[in-house]
Chain A
Amino acid sequence: MPLIGPHQQRWLRVFGATLAVLLSAAVVLSLRLPSFREPVLNFYAMKPGEIFNVYGLTRRQEGSVKLGFAEAYPGPEIGLYGNHIAAFFGAEAFGHPEDAEYFFNYSYANLSLPEIRRYLLHVAQLNHLPKKLILIQITPPNADNGGFIIDHGNELPPDIFLSTIESDERSNRLLPLVTLSWELVRNWLHEILNYNTVIMSLFQSGGYEERTLSPANCHDTSPAWLSRVPGRLQTILGTYGGVRCVPRLWTGALRRDGSQLVPRGEDRIPLVQNEDPLRESDRALRAGDEHTIAREMLAIDAIGIRHGIQVVFIVPPVYETDRHESVVNRIFDRALALVRDVTVIDHRSMRSDPSLFEGGIHASPRYYRILAEELRSRGFLD
């Protein structure tokens, strides 16, 4: 007896064929996208004041720009590893404006501790770790309700998983191959089955040369009429029309030291207090996670110890009212109590001064100057 009738069979054949064609097209289109990891953008060769425009790049491409650089070139004196929270941490905080050889900000996307550990292991294998100091930015618990501290969003390319598997503690787990395979499949799907990848593969334009520019000189090339059209149209025309001197296109642009250009005017990120409402249903940390956080921190610290480099963990503040008693904060507190031998600069209490923020969860350059001063006073910069 057939499971389904002839009508259902016909319908399913057409449905399956259509879906297969569409999915195949998505895979083929994603292969068209340049990686931006190879060839490499040499940040060291950028001139002071120049930016690398990332507008219209996928998250993976954007991360690959820095990853490729970290793989190809030796690290600076101080390197920062983290995620978008630390995007505005630049070398000027140390009094070395845009000095990429002194400080480089390797942070991108939503990297969490396990991904940062893999990233560092990968870079360490290439002998490209920073020379003096490794700064690890941890997502403040109240920024994303405990998210992106130990859970991760498939931000690293799959080969990083594979290249670090030998030294990865996951290989000691039960069913390591199943776990790894599942992570690789998720990682691949995350990149391929993504509207951004498909759209960008159709419309993306501009390589390193077109994307590297100096905002100070841009007014010479930007057509006057462009500034008169609505902002959103400017970005579309700019992106797909090859006109790149539009300030709105510079959102997220990378400077020579890897930090992001701080948005100005109407492009500024709105300053929202308590941006994450910390809903119980969205909580990303639960009891027992303190041990995972501590284990990841110790593993990262051990990488520094093996290579003779000081590691300092940083927990930036979030613009919020007094929410220290949140469940995720308490779990994180317990994690810190488990790693007393690790150096942590915990600035969660600096939550109320608006000048320390660009948006509700991103610390501002002013905050990083304060942080750099503390690093100096505690002797980490000597």
Chain B
Amino acid sequence: MRLRLWILVVASFMFYGVSGPEVLLAFVIAILWGYVTALLFARWPRAWPRALAIAVAVSVPALFLILFKYLTFIMDTVRAGPETRGHFWFFFNIVLPAGISFYTFEIVSYSLDVADKKIKPEHDLLRFTSFASFFPHLIAGPIMRYADLKQQLQALQSTPVLKPNIVFGLKLLSIGLIFKIFVADFSGTRITKASDLPLEQLSGVDQLTEIAFWSAQIYFDFWAYSVMAIGLGRLFCVELPVNFREPYLSRDPREFWQRWHVTLSYWLRDYVYIRMGGREAYVRNILIVFALVGLWHGAGWNFVAWGIYHAILVILYHVTAPAWDRLPRPVAVALTFTLVSFGWPLFFLSLEKYAAFLGHLVTTASWHTSVYPLHDWLYLAVIGVVTFGLRERNWLYNEVPNRNVIIDSPVIVALLMFIGLLTVSLSRTFIYFRF
């Protein structure tokens, strides 16, 4: 039964190795580093003062993260000349390892948990490797903790006959695929209708529509990957946590981050925010944590600005909570959604372009024309109904098929799978693959 883990590890490495031998090698080194440092922390606990343990655990994975992901950003920021950049040419050449931010966080959290004696170190290298490399969540999350997966991996090794929930897995795969292509990617194509034009040619209606499409694209891109990852996990008898809990239904910015990319939020809470003192210096810590959230999402000042924008929203809520909480629920949800949506363009625009975008929106006199035809708004309305009107527990995460839910029908799931396969050539790279 140990063979099952071997199959998972080999399949995961083959899947990851497609990106190139260099990124696979870096991945293997990061796994070995996490495995060995944890054993050292447990073997000689007194030899590792806390700060030193943190530094050692973080050093190699963080170095890879800097070299592979943030080097260009750092060089641009310090305005390094061609000669300086030439020294790092090897790293510039290598394609950004997919999901490097995800596996780095997972490995670091494991080492730190062992150093803090929250968990015991894993002596079985195969089991640890299967945790770090489990391919459904390797590229775009969720960010797993070893404590969450350990029992399931042990069960894979020890249970004679596994009972995968194939029905649930196939349903999630089909739905995720369809939403990725027909909501996330299609929204992306509608954005270009406006973004390809000079700002002066856009009306205020166009800009707001563009923002609405950005909101749909980013959310459903992440959501679809997470849903598919959970579905794939179920086919392998591994339960992955729900990473997006209907975040657009949040009443306030703080709740938004308890529903959006949940595993990242909790990671930063446990390993950064609390370690910095949590509420003791709330504003400072929130600003730092959200600047890190921004940097985690992308190597650029626009991403840092996006993170700080969210920090400001969270602090704003913190200050105005008594009044905010008295708002009627629909108003609070609409307000939160609007504020969050105005941040999404920073995912795609530089700071200068974002400022120009907002400037034009504020000053434009044109509110009566649009490059978007009626059917684009109808399409947005349908997405709105799905996002705000349906509860996932009723139609998506109901593990036992329900005769009253049309999407639980095997014929419908097969049809969705078929349509997804036919149109997969229309799909684009997952946005979270960049992280």
Contact = CB atoms under 8 A, between A and B. Distances in A.
Contacts of B429: 281-282
A194 B425 contact: yes
B95 A286 contact: yes
Nearest to B72: A280
Interface residues of A, number: 34
A14 B411 contact: yes
Contacts of B170: 15
Given A11-B401, A272-B196, A18 B90 contact: no
Given A193-B421, A287-B22, A3 B434 contact: no
Interface stretch (A19-27, A235-243, A309-317): A19-27
Interface in A8-61: 8, 11-12, 14-16, 18-19, 22-23, 26
Nearest to B421: A193
Interface in B400-435: 401, 410-411, 413-415, 417-419, 421-426, 429, 433-434
Given A3-B161, A270-B196, A19 B434 contact: no
Interface in B149-188: 161-167, 170
B10 interface: no
B60 interface: no
A16 B166 CA distance: 12
Interface residues of B, number: 39
A327 B410 contact: no
B93 interface: yes
A303 to B, nearest CB: 29
B20 interface: yes
Nearest to B411: A18
Contacts of A8: 165-167
Contacts of B163: 3-5
A331 interface: yes
A12 B166 contact: yes
A194 B421 CA distance: 8
A131 interface: no
B96 interface: yes
Contacts of A286: 20, 22, 93-95
Given A22-B418, A195-B423, A283 B410 contact: no
A190 interface: yes
A1 interface: yes
A198 B422 contact: yes
A283 B95 contact: yes
A280 B96 CA distance: 6
B98 interface: yes
Nearest to A325: B82
Contacts of B417: 19
B92 interface: yes
B421 A14 contact: no
Contacts of A7: 167, 401
Contacts of B422: 26, 193-195, 198
A281 B93 contact: no
A287 B94 contact: yes
Nearest to B433: A281
A280 B410 contact: no
A22 B417 CA distance: 10
A26 B417 CA distance: 13
A212 to B, nearest CB: 29
A283 B96 contact: yes
A270 B195 CA distance: 12
A270 B72 CA distance: 30
A1 B72 contact: no
Nearest to B197: A270
B94 A19 contact: no
28 contacts: A3-B161, A3-B164, A4-B164, A7-B167, A8-B165, A11-B167, A11-B401, A11-B410, A14-B410, A18-B410, A18-B411, A22-B418, A23-B418, A190-B425, A193-B422, A194-B422, A194-B425, A195-B425, A270-B196, A280-B95, A280-B434, A282-B429, A283-B96, A287-B90, A287-B93, A327-B92, A330-B89, A331-B93
Interface of B: 20, 22, 72, 82, 89-90, 92-96, 98, 161-167, 170, 196, 401, 410-411, 413-415, 417-419, 421-426, 429, 433-434
Cβ-closest 9 pairs across A and B: A287-B93, A18-B414, A281-B434, A15-B410, A14-B410, A195-B422, A22-B418, A19-B414, A286-B95
Interface of A: 1, 3-5, 7-8, 11-12, 14-16, 18-19, 22-23, 26, 190, 193-195, 198, 270, 272, 279-283, 286-287, 325, 327, 330-331
